[in-house]
Amino acid sequence: MKVALMGYGRFGRALGSLLAESGMGFRALDPHAEIPEPYRCTSLPELISGADLVVVAVPVPKLHSVLEDLRPYLKPSQLVMDVGSVKVKPVEALNAVLGTQVPWIGTHPLFGPLSLAMAERPLRVVLCPNPLHPEAAAQARTFYERLGCEIVEQTPESHDRVMAHTHALTFFVAKGMIDAGTGLDVPFAPASFKALARTIETVRSDAGHLFAAIQLENPFASEARQQLLEALEQIHEKLERLPAEATSPEAGRMVIPTPEAHSTEAAEYRGHLDQIDREMLALLARRTHLAQRVARAEAREGQGSHEASDEALLKARRAWASELGLEKEAEVFFRTLFRLSRASGGTEG
């Protein structure tokens, strides 16, 4: 499968690295980005010629005009897909420009540059099957599965409704907390806020530049924001009317529902251990994948053995562990990790 990548911004570059790792040939065009020479095209005819799949990775507001630029060079044997984080408007643009003449499908990879760089798994993609081109969904599924992705099929409307109440609201809350200066640079914070802080940092580093597009291009985002604001306002008004004592009966009715408790103290501890072990296994999978990527990059760059670097890394990790009183345990733990990394084809230093 030969891929033409129209757009080489943040997501385009990330997708290009995923294509390269998967051994899938691609070419890219973007007059505003630096593209490595092996993949670089200088014109639309050069980009489109011979491509089986054309991935349009441009901002949603620019999609319609870019599709019009591509249209004269596209053939009925090619499949065109977008990768926007909303789907109703991109599907409308694809239909308006390509219609029944050129196969097309709307897709949304539910991952970004940061999640790819951190080797987070699984990688999921939403496909919006196109009744005008029934075969397009199977072709797109094959493409994404070759990249190691899991597929979820949704209509454009269903996708955008879900994203309005998840993606868009997450960005909305994060920006509100940032603009209000909530919890920034505090010397201490409870665990509940730390989880929110991680979400905010993920939004800022991975896709903060998409804030306006996620809110304005999703036709259901305004409704979701309004519902959240109304719920918060109701909570605020109820709190304002409560007696000052938190032990009052009225205050007791404001509790947040909690998960069902474990039957015994030991069972509760075992549940926490199970959760930690699941998280550790997920981290081990990500770490193994990253180590393999390091090994491939070093091979391309002609770097040799890194035994000395391994020891330097181990020294640094012993220092981290000493702050927790786990220096001896860390020695065994990381030497084992390094050995597993080598066995799986990865590297460290």
The helix or strand, by DSSP H or E, that contains position 142, with its residue range, turns out to be: helix 135-146
- Residue 333 confidence (pLDDT) above 60: yes
80 token code pair: 């065109």
Tens of pLDDT, residue by residue over 264-283, are: 778 877 888 888 898 888 88
DSSP state of 40: B
- Residue 245 confidence (pLDDT) above 70: no
Rounded Cα distance, 57 and 48, in Å:
14
pLDDT in the model for residue 297: 74
Who wins on pLDDT, 134 or 323?
Answer: 134
Instruction: Match 């990688």 to its residue by tokens.
Output: 123
pLDDT in the model for residue 254: 72
In the chain the domains, ranked by start, together with CATH numbers, are 3-154 (3.40.50.720), 160-249 (no CATH), 276-343 (1.20.59)
pLDDT in the model for residue 43: 97
Q: Please, what is the Cα angle at 264 between 262 and 267, to 5 degrees?
A: 65
Comparing 162-171, 184-193, 256-265, 338-347, which segment has the lowest mean pLDDT? Answer: 256-265
- Report phi then psi at 105, rounded to 5: -155, 145
Q: Which residues pair with 3 in a beta bridge?
A: 26, 53
Tens of pLDDT, residue by residue over 168-188, are: 999 999 999 989 888 667 778
Q: Please, what is the Cα angle at 172 between 238 and 155, to 5 degrees?
A: 110
For the whole prediction, is pTM greater than 0.85? no
Q: Are 217 and 86 contacting, i.e. CB atoms less than 8 angstroms apart?
A: yes
- Percentage of residues of the chain with pLDDT beyond 70: 91
Rounded Cα distance, 74 and 83, in Å:
18
Tens of pLDDT, residue by residue over 205-240, are: 767 778 998 999 999 999 999 999 999 999 999 899
